[in-house]
Amino acid sequence: MEVVHGRCAGLDISKKDAKVCVRVAGAGRRKTVETVTTWSSMTNQVLALREHLIAEKVTCVVMEATSDYWKPFYYLLEDLPGVELMLVNARHVKNLPGRKTDVADATWLAQLGAHGLVRGSFVPPEPIRQLRDLTRARTAITRERSREVQRLEKLLEDAGIKLSVVASDIMGVSGRAMLEALNAGDRDPAGLADLAKRRLRSKIPELSEALVGRFAEHHAFLARVHLDLIDRHTAAIADITARIEVVIEPFQGFRDLICTIPGVATLIADVIIAETGADMTRFPTAKHLASWAGTTPGNNESAGRKKSTQTRPGNPYLQGALGQAAMWAAQHPHTYLGARYRRISLRRGPQRANVAVQHSLLIAIWRMGTTGELYEDLGGDYYTRLNPERARTRAIRQLEAMGYRVTLDQAS
């Protein structure tokens, strides 16, 4: 097999240390030499490893993505001159069963890199990494805030307070006012219901019924704990959002561009930029981007039979943002994305329709990021205009199935 890199290193990384195999390919009758050494994961040792790789004249370094333990090594080695540094997916570099040791893994990585059998994963530059840390932290804290609201709702259920049955958001302006009054000792259902604001005032009789319970001091103490935690999460989310506005400034133009797509709000655009890097030239085509994100059917064919076309695992943060954007886009009745969702959901179900809309979103984002053009919607009647004969036939069949006799006259 052809040797692409005569001097290649493979790193098997753990929390404590890393096994490093430096592979020097032999020439002529000389044998290939593979030397394995152990280096601590402390910064000084990683810097010493850097000097060691320079002294060995290594031209390629391959490391496996293991939790977050690869980051100290990657960030200190990424600017090595004349060295191709690759972070590879663990699924792509599995060794033969029964040969699993740290030394064997490091040697295997070095062999794969020497023969050019692996490709590196996408590791964004420093500005995008900072933005990614912020958006992921905001997502995690937002989820934790939602869990805290759910815990508060369970507490109210324990007290017999059925506020969530009447109010869709117990942490809205009205719900928060009622909860604060409950904590302050007000147990009068009518008085509590009268704290409702705006449209919720039309449900005052239902609120009066829902606020009858056995809310005691025990519940008030725990409710105060939950409310304080929710407020802290809300304040943290606001601080992170303010910081994101500073860090995302170099990518403001791209964010404004993709926010013209139906369903893509500012928060979703932040996640898309942080996870894709906002540089669409990194992906040769729009299909490459969609495949990397896990929104295209997989390939699993043997002996001429396709066993499964399930989508591959993708970036969970990007998929979460795209799924939310697709759900919102599907609610637009007069857009192409909404028409695409409804068309596919009738045949394949809502989940597959959502993934299909995610795919369309990524295709549009890649084209807009490549050309700089604004989003141009094809319209909610796109499929009707694409094949009017088919649309007419389907409408006639639906009416006939309802018991109508249909005759058509051409409009002048």
Q: What is the largest CA-CA distance in the chain?
A: 94
Question: Hey, CA dihedral for 153, 154, 157, 158, is it positive or negative?
Answer: negative
Distance separating alpha carbons of residues 24 and 251, to the nearest angstrom = 43
Closest listed residue to residue 181, CA positions, set 143, 151, 142, 220: 220
Residue 33 has pLDDT above 70, yes or no: yes
Residue 96 has a pLDDT of: 65
Distance separating alpha carbons of residues 235 and 138, to the nearest angstrom = 11
Section 195-217 average pLDDT = 92
Residue 26 has a pLDDT of: 79
Residue 153 has a pLDDT of: 95
Count how many Cα atoms sit within 13 Å of the Cα of residue 185 in the half-sphere of its side chain: 0
Structure tokens at 89: 């997916």
Residue 98 has a pLDDT of: 66
Element (H, E) at 225: helix 217-247
Mean pLDDT, the chain, whole residue set: 89
Element (H, E) at 354: helix 350-371
Residue 148 has a pLDDT of: 96
Residue 333 has a pLDDT of: 84
Element (H, E) at 156: helix 126-158
* pLDDT tens, position by position, 304-332: 777 666 777 778 899 999 999 999 998 88
* 181: Cα separation from own chain's centroid: 39
* pLDDT tens, position by position, 211-268: 999 999 999 999 999 999 999 999 999 999 999 999 999 999 999 999 999 999 999 9
Q: Are 65 and 90 in contact (CB under 8 A)?
A: yes
What is the reported pTM? 0.85
Residue 209 has a pLDDT of: 92
Section 296-302 average pLDDT = 71
* pLDDT tens, position by position, 93-145: 777 666 778 888 889 899 899 888 888 888 888 999 999 999 999 999 999 99
pLDDT confidence band for 347 (50 / 70 / 90): confident
pLDDT confidence band for 282 (50 / 70 / 90): confident
* pLDDT tens, position by position, 175-192: 999 999 999 998 899 999
pLDDT confidence band for 383 (50 / 70 / 90): confident
Residue 306 φ/ψ, nearest 5 degrees: -85, 115
Distance separating alpha carbons of residues 375 and 366, to the nearest angstrom = 11
Query: What one-character-per-residue DSSP string does 246-266 give?
Result: HHTGGGHHHHHHHTTSTT--H
Count how many Cα atoms sit within 13 Å of the Cα of residue 189 in the half-sphere of its side chain: 17
* pLDDT tens, position by position, 353-377: 999 999 999 999 999 999 988 898 8
The single-letter DSSP state of residue 137 is H
Residue 163, CA distances (Å) to 40, 160, 168, 188, 202 in order: 56, 9, 9, 14, 15
24 by DSSP, 3-state: which? strand
pLDDT confidence band for 157 (50 / 70 / 90): very high
Residue 57 φ/ψ, nearest 5 degrees: 60, 40
Residue 308 has a pLDDT of: 65
Residue 222 has a pLDDT of: 95
Q: Are 11 and 71 in contact (CB under 8 A)?
A: no
Helices (H), 261-349: 266-276, 286-292, 316-330, 336-348
Residue 28 has a pLDDT of: 64
Residue 327 has a pLDDT of: 93
Residue 29 has a pLDDT of: 66
Residue 412 has a pLDDT of: 60
pLDDT confidence band for 163 (50 / 70 / 90): very high
* pLDDT tens, position by position, 41-94: 999 999 999 999 999 999 999 998 878 899 999 999 998 888 999 998 877 777
